[in-house]
Structure 1
């Protein structure tokens, strides 16, 4: 495994200098000559040898109710961050819902292990600092494929730093922040296992992931109701794959 990892890293550095074929140029993706090798490294090494086996083992040994409680717990931990971002975006209604969800699930839901709030009509609010920057008029910037983390953009990478390492520190210690991040990563990868055929059957998996990522960002930015013109231009994908990418 170590030998393959070193070979892959060497190939990554060499291919980063290669030119992208003209027919595959994408104005959203000026760093494609670096992003594609990073995608291959993520899938052929990190996912194949680490993340997917961990996710498969997690699904096999963890009962569904326990998985659901873990997902509820990590969502609840993120609720204050959702509320802050909703407030920064001027969404008073979603700010109130996020705060109410946190209070209900933390108390009645036993620390967030049970999602009582949804049964009361308080649906999950998902707001991040990348969306906040988008609402403030800041563009996506270059598309990025991050080692071990997957697709992002310059704007969303900035947002992820704020959401995952700045705002959580208000309430969580560094080890707790890392634990929540790992739990989310494993659960997200486990949720994608049933959707792997969509990726495997695509003609160009790299482009497929990129297009799905941009469609997801579009829907999140507009809270599921993008402008009709942009919505018409977006390609249809499996909802589960879109939600969990």
Structure 2
């Protein structure tokens, strides 16, 4: 588990189980440690596993999980919900921009409407009024935009203190930081928002801890979940089904002849 960037938000969506040059589909090999198979998406696996152990055994165990437990004990649930709603509302301009860059007019319009409704009627986003009137959040970012434009994943990365990502995802995150309206926030507000999102993601992860801990290879488990979630986001919840292997009919003809 990682601190801050939601490795946890990825794990929250484990139950839910790209692009033209996407390397995600290039390998379906088993990535468990010690099996002898090589995952082409993960050329830096040795480094990534070390970072996973550091994030999981040190940062989460000694910092993020205890902080989250304390946060849940001190801040009432309605207040926690209001804080994360306000934080998410600040991301609506980013969702709007990338909906437009991906040629999704419906998504773009919804993001604009959500920001307007929640910033006014929802009192600066504290109350997610938009969702209650049928305007579901459109989760868009530069990583997804690059994927839609045909940029491949690049190498899988387990970042220290940040969790799973890809080379394309890192570029996307930097890009979103440069032009995002969030960059206009003061440093204290930026840190506050960052912390609230991390604590909220870790809180939601609590119910899935046992599933992760009982998996034979937590590192591989999280990696596969990350790529599944990534495809889910890129294709707006409708990822393409893996191509079924073609059957050589000549094999059956030969068997019948031999028979």
Fold in common (TM above 0.5): yes
CA contact 1:73–1:113 (8 Å) conserved in 2: yes
Structure 1 residues 223 and 197 mapped into 2: Cα distance closer, same or farther (>3 Å)? same
Say if 2:127 is the partner of 1:114.
Answer: yes
Aligned with 2:136 (options 109, 113, 123) = 123
Aligned with 1:61 (options 74, 80, 100) = 74
Q: List gaps (5 residues or longer) in structure 1.
A: 1-19, 233-245
**1:184: how far off?**
0.8
The CA distance in 2 between the partners of 1:210 and 1:96, in whole Å, is: 33
Aligned with 1:224 (options 237, 251, 254) = 237
Show the counterpart of 2:30.
none
Question: Could you say what secondary structure the match of 2:135 adopts?
Answer: coil
Greater RCO (CA < 8 Å, at least 6 residues apart):
2
The CA distance in 1 between the partners of 2:192 and 2:103, in whole Å, is: 30
Say if 2:187 is the partner of 1:179.
Answer: no
Aligned with 2:101 (options 88, 98, 101) = 88
**1:47: how far off?**
0.5
User: Residues 34-73 of structure 1 correspond to what in structure 2 (within 5 A)?
Assistant: 34-73=47-86
> Deviations along 1:199-239, whole A, 9 cap, x unmatched?
00100000000000000000000000111227x9xxxxxxx
The CA distance in 2 between the partners of 1:83 and 1:225, in whole Å, is: 20
Question: Could you say what secondary structure the match of 1:152 adopts?
Answer: strand
Tell me the number of residue pairs that the alignment of Structure 1 and Structure 2 aligns: 213
Say if 2:124 is the partner of 1:74.
Answer: no
CA contact 1:168–1:177 (8 Å) conserved in 2: no
The CA distance in 2 between the partners of 1:24 and 1:54, in whole Å, is: 38
Which sits farther off after the overlay, 191-200 or 172-181?
172-181
RMSD over equivalenced CA pairs, Å: 1.8
Say if 2:143 is the partner of 1:101.
Answer: no
Say which one has the larger Rg: 2
Show the counterpart of 2:146.
133
The CA distance in 1 between the partners of 2:140 and 2:199, in whole Å, is: 21
Question: Could you say what secondary structure the match of 1:229 adopts?
Answer: coil
The CA distance in 1 between the partners of 2:177 and 2:191, in whole Å, is: 9
> Deviations along 1:112-146, whole A, 9 cap, x unmatched?
00001111111111001100110010000000001
Show the counterpart of 1:143.
156
As a proportion of its length, which structure holds more helix? Answer: 1
> Deviations along 1:145-191, whole A, 9 cap, x unmatched?
01111000001111122224541355423332232122111111111
CA contact 1:164–1:181 (8 Å) conserved in 2: no
